[in-house]
Each structure stands twice: as C-alpha cells, then as structure tokens.
Amino acid sequence: MDRRKVLKKIGYGSGAIIVSPQILNMLHSCQSSVNKNLPIFFTKIQFQIISKTMELIIPKTDIPGSTELMLPEFLDNYIDIVMSQSDKENLSKGINNFIKLILIETSKNQSNQINTIDINIQLKKYLKATDKQIERWQKTQEYISSKPIGDFRKSLESEVYNFLIQIRSLTLNAFRLNEYIREKVLAYDPIPGKLIGCVDLNQTTGGKRWSL
C-alpha cells in the first residue's frame, strides 16, 4: 500500500471524524489500555469482522497497521459515544448486510467462519470498482429507496458498497488522528509558529501533510 497516497486522501468522505480534545483523549486511552468490556457498540462477531476489515484497509508495513494502532477499539468507542442513534442504526445495518453478503457468496453457514480472504475479496470488489459499477450501485440505491420492494441482491450490494466506503473513510480518519501517526509519520509541530498559507508541502514538510 502506498501510504503517501492514502495520507493525501485522508479526511474526505461521509466517514469524517469530528476532532476535539475529548476525541483525541479517547483515542489515546484506546492506545494505552485494553478495555475488557470491549466491544461496546459492536457485537463480538461484528467487532471481529470490523477489525479484520480495518487491518486490510491499513495493514502493517513499515508503519503499524490498524490492529497494532488499536483503531478498531477507537472506532467502537467513537460510534458508541459520538454518533447519533440514526447513524448507529445505519452502521449496524451495514455490517449485518456485509456479513450476510459474504455468507451468501461463500456458501458458509456461520459468521465466525468468515476469514480475511473472504473480506478481502469484497474490499477489492467494492473499493476498486469501476466508475460504471459504482454508478450502478448508486442508481440501485436511489431506485430501491423509492420502491417498497426491490431486487434483494442488487439492494444488498448497494448497501454494502455504501457501508465499505464509510468504513474506509472512518478507518483513514482514525489513522490520521492516532498519536503515533500524528507525531511520527505526519508533519507535527507541538508548538506551531505563525500561519503561512499557500505553501509548497514538499519544501515545508518534505511532502507530508500536517497532523492537525
């Protein structure tokens, strides 16, 4: 994975994470301790699937991946504390549809049988889809929402596409907010000086974006 390209894209999409001192403290606490009560929002099987999905989105290379950075734990806390009830319901529906689709396509019977390979196949299908395919899923969603009964399989694919786009965005934003990434990977200045706009990042930070 080209981390520089990823970092340039971080912060865009419907899965943007609100930044506040409380959110950063919550992220730091997730990194420094293991909460035995986790998961809070997700069920155990949902958390396992989300954790595997997030690790595939940001795997460990020369930089720690999602699991090592404890991003799934942070996301679980963030959803439980910050998101509205409506957003929680949509996310819960999304991951259940994701699991359902994998079970259908793999002919497996139990959610705990889903492995990293199964998830990665879906990520490649939806996150590397052509513009034409994406447009079809988007149109399907518009059509389904206007009809009481629609094509179940097409509707499921459309829901899964939207869910994975959101999870990718949430994962990338959580990655950017992580203390290690902010201080060791991104351009970081704990005591910033004067603000200078419209500067070349290659000259000022070596091509790195600022952490905050």
CA atoms within 13 A on the CB side of 35: 16
From first CA to last CA, the distance across the chain in angstroms is 23
> Is position 204 within any domain?
no
Name the pTM for this structure. Answer: 0.73
pLDDT tens sequence across 62-115: 888 999 999 999 899 889 888 889 999 999 999 999 999 999 999 999 999 999
pLDDT at 37: 67
Q: Containing domain of residue 83, as a range?
A: 15-186
Structure tokens at 184: 């060791």
The predicted pLDDT at position 130 comes to 94
In the structure encoding, which two tokens stand for residue 126, read together? 């939806």
Stronger pLDDT, 88 or 204, i.e. the higher one? 88
pLDDT at 179: 76
The distance of Cα 27 from the centroid of its chain, to the nearest Å, equals 15
Would residue 92 count as lying in a domain?
A: yes
204-208, Cβ contacts within 8 angstroms, sequence gap of 24 or more? 207/4, 208/7
Sequence-separated (6 or more) residues with CB below 8 Å from residue 169: 12, 13, 14, 15, 16
Q: Which of residues 9 and 78 earns the better pLDDT score?
A: 78
pLDDT at 148 exceeding the cut of 80: no
Structure tokens at 86: 């409506």
Residue 191 sits at φ, ψ, to 5 deg, of -125, 80
Amino acid at 8: K
- pLDDT tens for 180-202 read 776 665 544 554 555 555 555 55
Euclidean distance between CA atoms 181 and 106, whole angstroms: 36
Residue 147 lies in a domain: yes
pLDDT at residue 81 in the model: 84
| Amino acid 136: pLDDT | 87
When pLDDT is cut at 50, 70 and 90, the band that residue 2 belongs to is low
Residue 205 lies in a domain: no
- Residue 12 pLDDT: 36
Instruction: Decide if 36 is inside a domain.
Output: yes
DSSP assignment of the chain: --HHHHHHHTT-STTPPPP-HHHHHHHHHHHH---TT--SSS-HHHHHHHHHHHHHHS--SSS--HHHHTHHHHHHHHHHHHS-HHHHHHHHHHHHHHHHHHHHHHT-S-GGG--HHHHHHHHHHHHT--HHHHHHHHHHHHHHHTSSS--HHHHHHHHHHHHHHHHHHHHHHHHHHSHHIIIIISB--SS------S--HHHHTTTPPB--
**Residue 196: inside a domain, yes or no?**
no
Please give the pLDDT value at position 211. 47
Residue 77 lies in a domain: yes
| Structural domain count of the chain | 1
pLDDT at 53: 98
8 in any annotated domain: no
- Dihedral angle over CA of 36, 40, 44, 46, nearest 10: -140
